[in-house]
């Protein structure tokens, strides 16, 4: 068995065996497969595609290239994954809600990617929090609290880390087969029993069209189920920021408001929908209405806030964070409103452009290793369809300095369309699985 033979099989439209996929994934992890061979493999998959069986084989092989966690808990073990968007802070809200209803959520999350924010970057906007914990701490948190949001160790799906870096420089990032294997290899390594996927669609998502989003959702769901994990997906709207904020500390603030003073919002609605789907997949409840009601009660009763506080303290953050979060989150040097250039309705918001504006403010990374300013971004973002008069605020800007503020204001106004009517996508577009 060797890399060249496997690449040739893919190139010619053949079907690699599970043993060949396992050999190749181990070669990626150990370095036995060269960068040139990894790039050729990725390009062959991109051009030829994989059957469902081969996609499952690749996913399992990449999962098994490192550690695979096993849990001996009396409660279901579940997780949620989003394909990324703007103002998407669902994970920070959902994990403690699930823990509060007795469903374990060991969440291995990522950092910002491109124009989208990262769950770990948001969590680390809280002073003292570090998501780089060892496996012993991770397990103790899940056992004691019921949830933990942490970064992946180097021993989780190392083949994916290697292949992803090669894909990034070989024009093969967009392959649905490779996206599927990349996402699921890391999630399945967490030892899940059930998984819900939030596949974003719209200007702020990687998948811009409904057809593309549904195709990815179907690939993810069929592959995860084929790998033995009960999985479904919701295709959801990302034609505007999910929350009314975009930026690390600002999104944490919105999560804290939902945890301590819940009210109707797109963020809460989507969190309830995803959580209810997970509880059905885990066979905790028999209807989404009952499950969503139980989850909502964790917000109203304060039990979710208690779980969040326990998780934050275990990650090195302040005790009882929910009691005085307003005074603990960092605040930008320059805070001002962005005025509407004309009267009308908010007709369009280019989420991709808004996300990039946050990155350029310092809220994301332009290069690997860049330090993040957790305080910057946008808040009080008016949603699609909102009516506004000329000169009224359409958003509030948070920046480190005046020059950065001016550039970000121009970028936001360029991303904004004010017209006579707006036709936002429904929040939940389609269920797959």
Which of 79, 285, 309, 373 is labelled catalytic?
A: 79
Helix H, strand E, coil C: the string for 329-361 is CCCCCEEEEEECCCCEEEEEECHHHHHHHHHHH
- Alpha helical stretches, state H, 366-428: 402-415
Residues 6+ apart with CB under 8 A from 135: 67, 69, 153
Choice among 22, 65, 75, 82 that is catalytic: 82
Q: Which one from 63, 162, 186, 230 is the annotated catalytic residue?
A: 186
Q: Which entry of 182, 203, 245, 271 is annotated as an active-site residue?
A: 182
Q: Considering 63, 167, 200, 307, which one is annotated as catalytic?
A: 167
> Has 187 been annotated as catalytic?
yes
Q: How far apart are CA 428 and CA 333, in angstroms?
A: 37
Q: What distance lies between CA 272 and its chain's CA centroid?
A: 16
Q: Are 339 and 394 in contact (CB under 8 A)?
A: yes
Q: How far apart are CA 224 and CA 188, in angstroms?
A: 8
Task: Give first-to-last CA distance, the chain, whole Å.
Answer: 36
Rg (CA), the chain: 21
> Max CA-CA distance within the chain?
68
Annotate 87-110 with b (16+ C-beta within 10 A) or e (fewer). Answer: bbbbbbbbbbbbbbbebbbbbbbb
350 is catalytic: no
Q: Which of 55, 63, 80, 328 is catalytic?
A: 80
Task: Report the distance separating Cα 118 and Cα 112, nearest Å.
Answer: 4
List, in order, residues 6 or more apart from 235 with CB less than 8 Å away.
199, 200, 201, 210, 213, 214, 217, 428, 429, 430, 431, 432
Residue 186 a catalytic site member: yes
| Catalytic member of 55, 122, 187, 398 | 187
- Is 182 a residue of the active site? yes
Indicate if 79 belongs to the active site: yes
Q: Please choose, from the candidates 141, 87, 367, the residue with its C-alpha nearest in 3D space to the C-alpha of residue 251.
A: 87
Beta bridge partners, 348, equal: 417
Q: What is the C-alpha separation between 195 and 277, in angstroms, rounded?
A: 9
Which of the following is catalytic: 55, 81, 162, 294?
81
Q: Among 83, 119, 175, 219, which one carries the catalytic annotation? A: 119
Q: List, as own/partner pairs, every contact residues 22-25 make where C-beta atoms lie below 8 angstroms and the sequence separation is at least 24, other chains included.
A: 22/57, 22/60, 22/61, 22/64, 24/61, 25/58, 25/61, 25/62, 25/64, 25/65, 25/159
Provide the annotated active-site residues: 79-82, 119, 167, 182, 186-187
């Amino acid at each position: 068995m060797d890399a060249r033979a496997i690449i040739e099989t893919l190139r010619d439209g053949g079907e690699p065996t599970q043993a060949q996929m396992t050999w190749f994934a181990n070669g990626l992890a150990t370095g036995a497969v060269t960068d040139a061979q990894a790039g050729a493999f990725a390009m062959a998959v991109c051009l030829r595609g994989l059957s469902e069986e081969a996609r499952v084989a690749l996913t399992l092989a990449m999962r098994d290239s490192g550690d695979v966690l096993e849990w001996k808990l009396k409660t279901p073990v579940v997780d949620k994954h989003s394909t990324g968007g703007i103002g998407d802070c669902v994970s920070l809200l959902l994990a403690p809600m699930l823990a509060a209803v007795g469903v374990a959520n060991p969440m291995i999350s990522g950092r910002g990617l491109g124009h989208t924010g990262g769950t770990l970057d948001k969590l680390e906007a809280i002073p003292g929090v570090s998501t780089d914990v060892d496996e012993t701490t991770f397990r103790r948190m899940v056992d004691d609290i019921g949830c933990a949001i942490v970064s992946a160790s180097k021993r989780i799906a190392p083949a994916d880390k290697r292949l992803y870096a090669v894909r990034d420089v070989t024009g093969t990032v967009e392959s649905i087969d490779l996206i599927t294997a990349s996402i699921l290899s890391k999630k399945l390594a967490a030892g899940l029993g059930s998984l819900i996927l939030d596949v974003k669609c719209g200007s702020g998502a990687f998948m811009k069209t409904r057809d593309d989003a549904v195709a990815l959702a179907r690939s993810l769901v069929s592959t995860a189920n084929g790998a033995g994990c009960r999985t479904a997906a919701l295709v959801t709207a990302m034609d505007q920021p999910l929350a009314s904020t975009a930026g690390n500390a600002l999104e944490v603030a919105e999560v804290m408001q939902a945890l301590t003073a819940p009210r109707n919002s797109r963020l809460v609605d989507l969190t309830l929908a995803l959580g209810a789907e997970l509880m059905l997949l885990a066979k905790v409840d028999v209807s989404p209405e009952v499950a969503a009601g139980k989850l909502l009660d964790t917000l109203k009763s304060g039990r979710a806030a208690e779980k969040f506080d326990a998780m934050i303290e275990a990650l090195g953050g302040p005790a009882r964070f929910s009691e005085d979060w307003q005074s603990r989150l960092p605040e930008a040097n320059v805070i001002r409103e962005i005025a509407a250039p004309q009267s009308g309705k908010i007709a369009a918001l280019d989420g991709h452009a808004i996300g990039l504006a946050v990155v350029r403010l310092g809220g994301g990374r332009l290069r690997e290793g860049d330090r993040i300013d957790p305080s910057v971004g946008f808040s009080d973002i008016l949603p699609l369809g909102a009516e506004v008069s000329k000169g009224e605020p359409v958003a509030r800007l948070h920046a480190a300095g005046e020059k950065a503020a001016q550039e970000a204001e121009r970028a936001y106004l360029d991303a904004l369309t004010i017209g006579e009517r707006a036709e936002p996508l429904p929040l939940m577009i389609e269920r797959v699985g």
